[in-house]
Every structure is written in structure tokens, then in C-alpha cells.
Amino acid sequence: MRMLRSLGLVLAIVNLAAVSAQAQDPSEDSEAKADTAKPIITRVEDAGLGWLEGSERQDLTLDPSIGWNVDFADDSCGLSRTFGTGNELVILDLRQYAPSSSFDVTVAGPSLKARKGVLTYRFAPDGEVQRSPRHMIAKFPNNHTGVVFGASLLADLDETASQDERDNVQAAREKRVATLSIETGFARRIHLRTGPLNEAMAVMNQCTHGLLDHWGLKPDSAGQWPAMAKPRNETAFTKKVQEVFPPKALGTSGIARIRLMISETGEPTSCHLQAPTENKAFKDASCRQLVRYANFEPTLNSSGQAVASYYVVKVSYIS
């Protein structure tokens, strides 16, 4: 582990990069999953517009009980914070596995009751209500129940926006965030008064670039770090990954967070598990298919020279 700055209580509960074997995919019923067990591969956490109105529910609005704690792990970067106290304690964990505008969000607590169906969230006041394309309901230590989902402050931004525009919007929204609201996904709406995220996310960005250095990648003479490799045949190798559900893991669900290291010519050179999983078969199946079938465009530095790079992917195994 590169560095860890976190309170013992938080570390015990919110080392949440791993979803337990009790995780469920709430978007499908059990009969359908039994007949169609297959991995779901996700490179970018898409979050489209969506809104699901529920019945009358009492909102839970909480202030932070501690400051942000930072987890500089070997293959991920995490920001965690607790809100409220006692039975209404809620833990928030934001986690990235490489430099990105999106992140995994975990919200968990002893009294939370997660619901199947659509999960919607909002970063107020600027953000619109967003629909998470897929979330997991999970059990954590200390009888905590929660959800894990992908989110972004740029989920509503047009895909044609330039990188400079995306960076400017991201920076502005980080400064203006006041609350993360989980509109649907729990038995009641949850509002976590995070306050501005710009300082916390600046630490996250420092950490994720540190990941690249830890993996053996370096910035070029202009200070530009290698970008994530672009697949040449994403549709083809996605299909190959989806074709294989580990026989030893049938009847269980899990997530494999995978990192490939990519050569200057675009070939995978190694495969690593970025987050713990209770079933090693998930990692083995993902790595075997990705190393065999994935191929990438060479990553170029600011001088146009091909350099070594990386590729990160999440494979969700739903049985």
C-alpha cells in the first residue's frame, strides 16, 4: 500500500472496493439471472438522464461527522467520510481506479434499506438527476447495508464537448457542490451535505496520477501522462468476455476490477486485479479472455511517440 490516511472506524467499514459475495444486481429478477448468467463488461460509467418518482418517504439529511479520509492504495484511490451518528450513521466512499471524470460511489449504513429497481442520484445544486445504469446492493462489515454505483459530475455533459470544456465544467461543479442526494435506491431519499468537492478531488487527482507512476508509467518532457489506451476491437473482446462465466463461480455474483498494462505497440503485457474479490475465478476468467483477445491503438505522447499505457475495466458477474 502506498499510503493510507484514514480513521480506524472508517477503514474497517469503507475499504469498499470489494463487493461481498452477497451482492445482488437489483435490476433483474432471480429467475432471469439463473438462465442468463454472464459477465457484464463496463469501461465507462455511463449515466443517462432518468427520474423515477416513488411514494411518499421521509428524507434523511445528514451533515458530515468527520473530515475526508484518503486511501492511497496500490491500485485505487479513495475518499471516504461519515455522516450522522449512531443508528443513522452513513458512510460515503468515492473511489477511482485510474485518472477519470467518473468514480464508484458507495453509500452504506446500519439502518439503510436498499431497494431493487432504478437508482437515481444528484449532485446539487448544479447537477440534474441522473440514472445509474447498474448498481449493486451489498452487505458490508458491522451489519452495514449499502449500494455501489458509478457516478460522474459530467454525466449530463454532451459527449462532443472538448477536453478543455469538460475540465472547466468539472472544476466549476466541484466548487459548487453542496449535497449528494440519492433520490431512489433506498427506502427513503438520502441527502449527504458534502460541501464543495474541489479540494478533496484535487487530492484524488494527485493520487490517481500517482497510480500511473506506481505502475511504472512516466510523464513525457511536457509533463503529459500517458492516456488510457483506446481499444481497437472493444465489441469483439467484450463479446469474448461475456461468453465465459467461471464454472466454479456459478450461483454467486461479483465484480472483477481489471487493469491491463499495454505495450507501445498496443498489446496487453500483464493483467492485474485492482480490487479484492471473494472468488478468484472471476479475475482468472476476465484476464484470460482480455489478454487473449484485446488489442489497442498505440498511445502517443505529446511528441507523437508511442509509449506504454494502461487500460482499466470493470466486469460484473451476475449469476
Which grid cell sits at 77?
484511490
> How much is the pTM?
0.77
How does residue 39 score in pLDDT terms, banded at 50, 70 and 90? Answer: very low
State the CB neighbour count (10 A cutoff) for residue 104. 24
| pLDDT above 60: residue 303 | yes
d(CA 16, CA 18): 5
Question: Could you report the per-residue pLDDT of 103-152, keeping only the tens digit for each?
Answer: 999 999 999 999 888 999 999 998 889 998 778 888 888 889 999 999 99
Query: Who's near 38: CB < 8 A, 6+ residues apart?
Result: 242, 243, 245, 318
What domain range is 92 assigned to?
3-18+45-214
State the CB neighbour count (10 A cutoff) for residue 90. 25
**Contact between residue 152 and residue 133 where contact means Cβ atoms under 8 Å apart:** no
Torsion 301-304-310-313 (CA) sign? positive
pLDDT score, position 163: 83
d(CA 247, CA 287): 15
Most distant CA atoms of the chain, gap in Å: 58
**Contact between residue 191 and residue 284 where contact means Cβ atoms under 8 Å apart:** no
d(CA 263, CA 297): 10
Is 198 inside any structural domain? yes
- Name the residue among 254, 290, 253, 258 with its Cα closest to residue 274: 258
- Name the residue among 269, 25, 300 with its Cα closest to residue 138: 25
Is 280 inside any structural domain? no
Question: Could you report the per-residue pLDDT of 164-193, keeping only the tens digit for each?
Answer: 888 899 999 999 999 999 999 999 999 999
**Counting beta carbons within 10 angstroms of the beta carbon of residue 113, is it exposed (0 to 12), middle (13 to 18) or buried (19 or more)?**
exposed
pLDDT score, position 59: 92
Report the number of secondary-structure helices (H) and strands (E) in the chain. Answer: 6, 19
Q: Do β-strands 306-307 and 299-300 pair in parallel, antiparallel, or remain unpaired?
A: antiparallel
Q: In the predicted model, what is the mean pLDDT of the chain?
A: 80
Is 207 inside any structural domain? yes
Is 97 inside any structural domain? yes
CA–CA–CA angle 163, 168, 174 (5° rounding): 120
Is 241 inside any structural domain? no
Number of domains in the chain: 1
| pLDDT above 70: residue 3 | no
Question: Could you report the per-residue pLDDT of 256-291, keeping only the tens digit for each?
Answer: 788 999 999 999 999 998 876 556 777 788 888 899
**Contact between residue 313 and residue 42 where contact means Cβ atoms under 8 Å apart:** yes
46 membership: H or E segment, kind and range: none
pLDDT score, position 46: 35
Is 25 inside any structural domain? no
Is 109 inside any structural domain? yes
Is 164 inside any structural domain? yes
